Amino acid sequence: MNAEERKKAEENMGLVHKVISDKVHGTFQYGMYSREDLFQIGCIGLCKAVVSDRGGCFSTYAYRLIWNEICDALVSSTRNGKRETVVDVLPEILKEAQGLVPASTKKGIRAMLLMEKGYTSREIGERFGVKANLVCAWVSKARKYLRNQEELRQMAEEYGYGTKKTGQETAI
């Protein structure tokens, strides 16, 4: 961006706040994004609008591009979230946890380990002879159980990972 385009983007930063307040509802976290993340994504949309502006009503054009950029990010994170169910739980911890959990949670852990290898919930469901929704329920139940176990938090610390997602740390 040249100096003139940069100035136009700075003058219209309020549009990003406007789009977020109009379109994004909730309190703090939106999928994997916080409000600050959405603001930064919106700023990318604003910059794209400034660079590609061909005249006309800029605020209407920019509003749409900002919202599209935010929507694309949210949709992408939702799709990736389904594939990356285990990103915040280490495979090493899952393997060790199998001996500590009740039998009903073991199915979820097995499914999480398969997801970590790249299998989808549909493929895992076919392997176990159940529907994909049931596999998702197993995983959800296992994750909830794992988050509440002190021994697993200690294991995470032994592997050098924190228990909350902050910066480079990984949550269980």
Q: In the chain, how many domains are there?
A: 2
Is the Cβ–Cβ distance between 140 and 108 less than 8 Å? yes
Task: Please state whether 129 falls in left (phi above 0), alpha (psi between -120 and 50) or beta.
Answer: left
As a whole number of angstroms, the distance between CA 78 and CA 31 comes to: 7
State whether the Cα torsion 34-38-44-46 is positive or negative.
negative
Claim to verify: residue 7 and residue 72 sit in the same structural domain: yes
Top pLDDT among 150 and 134 is at 134
- Is position 163 within any domain? no
**Mean pLDDT across 41-69:** 93
Q: What is the CATH number of the domain that holds 72?
A: 1.10.1740.10
Lowest mean pLDDT among 2-11, 56-65, 79-88, 136-145: 79-88
Residue 86 has a pLDDT of 42
Please indicate, yes or no, whether residues 78 and 105 belong to a single structural domain of this protein. Answer: no
Same domain, 79 and 21: yes
* 74 and 121 fall within a common domain: no
Domain contains 164: no
pLDDT at 171: 44
User: Whose CA is closest to 86, among 131, 117, 128?
Assistant: 117
Q: So what's the pLDDT on residue 29?
A: 53
**Same domain for 11 and 60:** yes
The reported pLDDT for the residue numbered 165 is 42
Q: Is residue 19 part of a domain?
A: yes
Contacts of 132 (CB under 8 A, 6+ apart): 120, 121, 122, 124, 125
* pLDDT at residue 170, as a whole number: 41
Question: 6-10, 11-15, 150-154: lowest mean pLDDT where?
Answer: 150-154
Judge if 73 and 141 occupy the same domain: no
Domain of residue 8: give its range: 3-83
Side chain identity at 55, as an amino acid letter?
A: G
Q: Does pLDDT of 83 surpass 80? A: no
With bands split at pLDDT 50, 70 and 90, how would you rate the model's confidence at 32?
low
136 CB neighbour count, 10 Å cutoff: 18
pTM for this predicted structure:
0.49
Determine, yes or no, domain membership for 10. Answer: yes
Helix ranges (H only) for the chain are: 3-11, 13-23, 35-52, 58-83, 91-97, 103-116, 121-128, 132-147, 150-158
Are 124 and 74 contained in the same domain? no
Better pLDDT: 74 or 171: 74
Last residue within a domain, chosen from 53, 83, 113 = 83
99 and 69 in a common domain: no
